[in-house]
């Protein structure tokens, strides 16, 4: 018997796990180590649970099933070892927790990685001297050079059969004690929470209409110009190869796909960097910038009370929905690390707590890019002006007014005017925490002093 461990691949279509032949036991583990760090109303848990149950129904229609566990992974595989499985098969992941978790499992049972989450394998794109690329443009050029039919290959179900196992209950394992519980989200202590995730079929239907204007339109926060596919890619309800084949089909119809493909390769690049430089998860790649630990400023940011409309609108959207437009993410991260001079690790953890599409590699490396400390970063002396960013990418303040009701009756010219906001009492809304020009100068001085030390 082979254990098929579903993780970031919650689908049956084009899933290499299901190409494994022989007697199999598909499983999913609600990881107790991860769940204990989350709020009991975390909307992501509801989405994952619903996706797992949908996967279970699809597997049953194929003559298979899904055993669902709530436990620490090593307890699950210690328990399953009594059934003498020949191997555990799962798709790889690159953050430090995942690497340590899989190492522990491999010490219990034979463990085999398959590559499914990203386009390229982490050792597939290297410089001529065998070292990893640290500049995206060079990585991207090499990626386009080696991109081939194998990266589009569709995986079909192999000749496999279900191992006899009771899959009707939730298996709760704790310190070697087994409890069979009702298979509902409440059984592991979480509350069902409503969430808004667009159906995958509808998103794919809309994608061709967005691709031609994607390169220009995607930065404008009031336009619905992004794909909204990040959550589906994060949890594998959409496979990367299926999406690539979809893009090939669009390209054959004369639709521009290069800008969107570039973003998918950027996603690979960040995962690749975390694989090759695992310390990036907590340390700077370059420069000794640590930030200043200021709890008051941090609370102002997390409570969307910085007094900077675009930043506060982004944080309010994030807390309310788990989503934030990518342009707004960059503005918020720049403001956090440059205007407020807070440690990027603090901001990364805040985003990790709330982002529906949270991906460790993408989030960590994006924060390092914004802070100027990462691989191929934004220059540390480049500081986004959040007011100019709002004027350019939310020119009618539609996004800001949607999330900051205190400003909905104000003129756009006032909303994006720092002097007006600094001098005006607005009912229910604070004045800016910092003055951007002054904060920018302080940040540059701080960075210069760090470089001298």
Per-residue model confidence (pLDDT) at position 375: 84
What residues does 24 pair with on adjacent strands? 2, 162
pLDDT at 388: 96
1-117: CATH number: 3.40.50.620
**CB–CB of 274/360 below 8 Å?**
yes
| CATH number, domain 118-152+200-276 | 1.25.40.80
Q: What is the per-residue pLDDT for 451? A: 80
pLDDT at 3 (0 to 100) = 98
Q: H-type helices in 355-435, by residue range?
A: 360-371, 386-393, 398-403, 412-415, 418-423
Tell whether pTM > 0.85. Answer: yes
pLDDT for position 219: 94
What whole-number distance in Å separates Cα of residue 96 and Cα of residue 105? 14
The reported pLDDT for the residue numbered 126 is 96
Q: Where are the domains of the chain?
A: 1-117, 118-152+200-276, 295-452
At 372 the pLDDT is 87
Average pLDDT per 10 consecutive residues for the chain, totaling 453 residues: 97 97 98 93 95 98 97 96 97 88 95 94 94 95 95 96 96 89 94 92 96 94 93 96 97 96 96 94 87 95 98 97 95 96 96 95 93 79 92 96 96 95 95 95 88 76
CA–CA distance from 181 to each of 71, 168, 184, 186, 200 (Å)?
Answer: 12, 9, 8, 10, 31
Percent of the chain as helix, strand, coil, to the nearest 5: 50, 10, 40
Strand partners, 172: 70, 179
Can you read off the two tokens belonging to residue 85? 């499985």
Rounded Cα–Cα distance for residues 52 and 65 (Å): 11
Considering the four listed CATH numbers 1.10.579.10, 1.20.1090.10, 1.10.287.70, 1.20.1250.20, the one that applies to the domain covering 295-452 is: 1.10.579.10
Q: What does the alpha-carbon distance between residue 411 and residue 397 come to, in Å, rounded to a whole number?
A: 9
CB within 8 Å of 453: residues ≥ 6 apart: 288
Q: Is 319 exposed, middle or buried (0-12, 13-18, 19+ CB in 10 A)?
A: middle
- The CA distance from 415 to 424, in Å, is 11
């Amino acid at each position: 018997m082979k254990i098929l461990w579903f993780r970031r691949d919650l689908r049956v279509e084009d899933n290499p796990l299901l190409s494994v032949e022989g007697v199999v036991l598909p499983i999913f583990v609600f990881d107790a180590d991860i769940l204990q760090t989350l709020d009991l109303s975390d909307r992501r848990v509801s989405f994952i649970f619903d996706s797992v149950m949908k996967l279970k129904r699809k597997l049953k229609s194929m003559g298979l099933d899904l055993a669902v566990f709530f436990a620490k992974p090593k307890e699950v595989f210690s328990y399953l070892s009594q059934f003498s499985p020949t191997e555990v098969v799962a798709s790889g992941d690159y953050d430090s927790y995942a690497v340590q978790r899989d190492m522990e499992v491999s010490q219990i049972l034979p463990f085999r990685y398959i590559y499914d989450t990203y386009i390229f394998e982490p050792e597939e794109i290297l410089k001529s001297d065998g070292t990893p690329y640290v500049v995206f443009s060079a990585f991207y050029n090499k990626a386009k050079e080696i991109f081939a039919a194998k990266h589009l290959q569709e995986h079909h179900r192999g000749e496999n059969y279900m191992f006899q196992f009771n899959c009707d209950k939730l298996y709760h394992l704790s310190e070697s004690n087994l409890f069979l519980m009702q298979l509902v989200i409440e059984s592991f202590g979480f509350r069902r929470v409503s969430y808004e995730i667009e159906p995958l079929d509808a998103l794919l239907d809309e994608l061709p209409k967005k691709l031609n204007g994607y390169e220009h339109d995607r930065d404008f926060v009031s336009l619905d110009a992004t794909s909204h596919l990040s959550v589906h890619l994060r949890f594998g309800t959409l496979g990367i190869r299926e999406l690539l084949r979809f893009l090939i089909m669009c390209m054959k119809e004369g639709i521009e796909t290069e800008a969107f493909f570039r973003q998918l390769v950027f996603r690979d690049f960040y995962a690749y960097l975390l694989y090759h430089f695992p310390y990036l998860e907590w340390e700077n790649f370059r420069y000794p910038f640590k930030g200043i630990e200021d709890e008051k400023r941090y609370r102002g940011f997390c409570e969307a009370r910085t007094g900077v409309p675009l930043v506060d609108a982004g944080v309010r959207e994030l807390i309310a929905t788990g989503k934030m437009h990518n342009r707004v993410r960059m503005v918020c991260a720049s403001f956090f690390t440059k205007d407020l001079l807070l440690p990027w690790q603090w901001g990364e953890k805040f985003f990790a707590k709330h982002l529906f599409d949270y991906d460790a590699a993408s989030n960590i490396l994006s924060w390092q890019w914004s802070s100027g400390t990462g691989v191929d970063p934004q220059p540390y002396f480049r500081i986004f002006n959040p007011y100019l960013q709002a004027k350019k990418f939310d020119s009618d303040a539609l996004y800001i007014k949607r999330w900051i009701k205190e400003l909905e009756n104000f003129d756009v010219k006032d909303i994006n005017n720092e002097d007006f906001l600094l001098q005006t009492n607005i009912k229910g809304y604070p004045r800016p925490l910092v003055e951007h020009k002054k904060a920018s100068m302080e940040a540059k001085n701080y960075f210069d002093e760090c470089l001298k030390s």
